[in-house]
Structure 1
């Protein structure tokens, strides 16, 4: 039994002794509690960030064959109807008489995204394989955010990319190209419609 130094409770004479000596505090107990609190806070913050990213559409799981493909961000998956009507010029052929369809060697650093505008799964991966086989470098594939596109359209951002868009459209067996800012995360965006045979 541990012997404690004498204190005022030892001098009580009327009745049995009440109370007990308090034992010495354990060293380092506060750090353990702090470490567990910090770990729990980190886990909760991480889960919260992931849930918000999924809710905002910043993280997307895309279709693909085998490996994972990078998906365009939420702003690149917007529907082309709102922005395309504001500042676009549809054309079935070249936008100027001097422009001719470019070849894959003319692509350079132009980013090319293939988006599935239908409910048919695997269509973007199929078109990506077809374009890659034709020599084009596809940056990423994904969903266009709509499933009712009837026509396959190749959208481009700059006038200088019109010939590239026409060459890509020709490789896919379509002629519909359109200048639009609806897909700001890529220079050229292909939105596959129900007319794409694959």
Structure 2
């Protein structure tokens, strides 16, 4: 049987203490905000670490040092690779259309004859949709035809070249639009 101990001062709890259990006092008011503050701090730290980690993975942050850094290690300079020079060529297998972008009658036919004499296969010769063009441009739609476009431009004094898909549906490999600057 359990022994009975005599009653002492610890058996009676005064009413003014407002204790819950033997060792706990009621929580002070406003203590719940401490947990909210710690949670907010944890969220800020985790979001910051996530953004920093994603920046490292995506490569927008680099720790390889800045040029002329004070770390004492020289930063190697990259040797620029030379840009290959595209040599203008005449390719008689390509078709060239000629569009007259001026009000000068017969200029398209004249340019077509110059291109034929230079070794080009001239397809269609027609008027452009605008007659006030000032610049003669050789258009090509496939980057592999850039050398040929430069070759056609070399046959026409003052002509430039441009890559565009505007004339790709015409079926011609190159399209020459003659402007008022043509001096042939």
TM-score, normalising length: structure 2? 0.52
Following TM superposition, the consecutive aligned residue runs of length 4 or more in structure 1 with deviations greater than 6 angstroms are: none
Compute the displacement of 1:134 (Å).
1.3
Kept in 1: contact 2:99–2:128 (CA 8 A): yes
Compute the displacement of 1:107 (Å).
3.4
* Counterpart residue number, 1:97: 84
- 1:5-28 Cα offsets, whole Å, 9 max, x none, are xxxxxxxxxxxxxxxxxxxxxxxx
RMSD: 1.3
Compute the displacement of 1:182 (Å).
1.0
> Can you give the 5+ residue segments of structure 2 that lack an aligned partner in the other structure?
1-82
* Counterpart residue number, 1:193: 179
Q: Which has the larger radius of gyration?
A: 2
* Counterpart residue number, 2:120: 136
Alignment partners' CA distance in 2, 1:141 and 1:179: 20
Alignment partners' CA distance in 2, 1:135 and 1:187: 15
- 1:85-117 Cα offsets, whole Å, 9 max, x none, are xxxxxxxxxxx63321012xx332x22101000
TM-score, normalising length: structure 1? 0.48
> Can you give the 5+ residue segments of structure 1 that lack an aligned partner in the other structure?
1-95
Kept in 1: contact 2:92–2:119 (CA 8 A): no
- 1:136-188 Cα offsets, whole Å, 9 max, x none, are 11011001110110000000000000000000000011241000111121210
* Counterpart residue number, 2:131: 147
* Counterpart residue number, 1:171: 155
Kept in 2: contact 1:115–1:190 (CA 8 A): yes
Instruction: Give the structure, 1 or 2, with the largest relative contact order (CA under 8 Å, sep 6 or more).
Output: 1
Q: Which has the higher helix share?
A: 1
After superposition, the Cα gap between the structure-2 partners of 1:195 and 1:113, relative to the gap in structure 1 and judged at 3 Å, is: same
Alignment partners' CA distance in 2, 1:191 and 1:175: 9
